[in-house]
Amino acid sequence: MSWLVDKTENDDFVQAFEFAQAGCIESSHLSVTWSDIEPTDGLFDSDILNIFNTADYFYTLYSTELELQLAVTNTVVKTVPDDLLAVDYNDPSFINRYKRVLDSVFAHLPTVELSALNIGNESDILFGTDPLQYEAYKTFLDAVIPYAKTRYFELYGRDLKVGTTLTLYGLIDPIKGPLCETLNDGLDIVSVTYYPLENDFTMKPIDAVEPDFDALIAIYDNPSQPIYFAECGFSSSEICNSSEILQAQFYSEVFRLWDKHYDYIKHLTIFKSTDWSYDAIDYLAGYYGIDDPIFLEYLRTLGVRTWDGDGTNKLAYDFILCELEARDWCTTSCALTGIEQNKNTVELALVPNPCTNQFIIQSDQALAHVKLFSLTGAMVYESSTGSTRIDTSELPTGIYFIEIETINGERRQEKIIKITP
């Protein structure tokens, strides 16, 4: 379970980490471009190296691993020192320079456990369908990955999992997909980013998520080369055809599909913990060269809490905690309370909870009326026969609220979680 740990406006990193800790963080996502580390030949940025020093100390202190992204490519940009921009990926000088960068980075991360090293980010967007780009990049990967693994073991006596990050839609595309497969051939992991986007940067409906996951697993179905979701996110903006409720439902669906494909998916990063600020979005607009307001709002609202001040939790964060609690992932608490409570002397238990295909209502009083509500408030089940065995086999996974009325006219509401069998 991985998070991108990023700060709110208050600039409090400890608070940001505690936010992720409540979400059962086991690994933290850190992405840095080669050009940030080494802007020009031999000149290493001391501020970036200090970030590595701090990460090494902090995450070791809290027994948290680090998933490190060292981006040679970053979505639409070749992120290398200025003097290498025109140099091919397979050029020996390019390869040797990257090995030098690896040496420097490893020297500043001597203690923290690396859950993975990913070289390059969403390269398929930059390469398109040009086979020569993939061929040159594959030569580069084949040269630097064995070096990274061997050097890391020599330095620290630990094995290192290495991959290269590509988009889910690139991996399953009929043209790009085979080219991406050549890059993944022989790597330790299949590293992937996933945002269910339409071409206009609005969000796809939630029912598109399962076919996407299934298509990925149909290609990468080797448990010995597990799938690592280096980024997984969903906008909450209305102009992106979304909302906080839909963002929350997206994460519940992701957890359901993770259960379904557990043999193949072994790592997932929530991207991201906090919305970007408007200043950050202005920078990203220039970086990507896109000023489409829908695209920028999509980026800005990927967080599961807001940016202003200390930040405010979005519904998705509460959903994530409830999904984690339902799986007993760590010591966390599902804070959702749902519809207004009206508790009294009725003793009530729902067994099992979480449930799969059904649950039983155990009450010390006879029931007269039972209703089941989704988190959006929609009633999905009703019985006036006093039934105590509720069929949930046709309901989507997620969190529901049950309201019962006894024959004495007393009412009680409780939460029930439906998970995949």
pLDDT value, residue 406: 85
Residue 354 pLDDT: 84
Domains of the chain in start order, with CATH, are 2-326 (3.20.20.80), 348-418 (2.60.40)
Q: How many residues does the chain have?
A: 421
* Residue 344 confidence (pLDDT) above 80: no
DSSP secondary structure code for residue 223 in this structure: T
Q: What are the CA-CA distances from residue 132 to residues 56, 72, 87, 135, 297 (Å)?
A: 37, 17, 14, 5, 34
Cβ neighbours of residue 81 under 8 Å, at least 6 residues apart? 34, 35, 38, 39, 40, 41, 97
Q: From residue 27, give the alpha-carbon distance in Å to each of 2, 20, 41, 180, 199.
A: 5, 10, 32, 26, 31
pTM recorded for the entire structure: 0.82
pLDDT at res. 412: 80
Q: Tell me, what DSSP letter sits at residue 80?
A: S
| 54: CB partners within 8 A, 6+ apart | none
For 10-61, write each residue's pLDDT tens digit. 999 999 999 999 999 999 999 999 999 999 998 999 999 999 999 999 999 9
How confident is residue 420, by pLDDT bands cut at 50, 70 and 90? confident
What CA–CA distance (Å, rounded) separates 125 from 176? 9
DSSP-derived 3-state class of residue 227: strand
* pLDDT tens digits for range 157-208: 999 999 999 999 999 999 999 999 999 999 999 999 999 999 999 999 998 9
Q: What is the mean pLDDT of residues 340-347?
A: 50
Of 212 and 362, the structure prediction assigns the larger pLDDT to 212
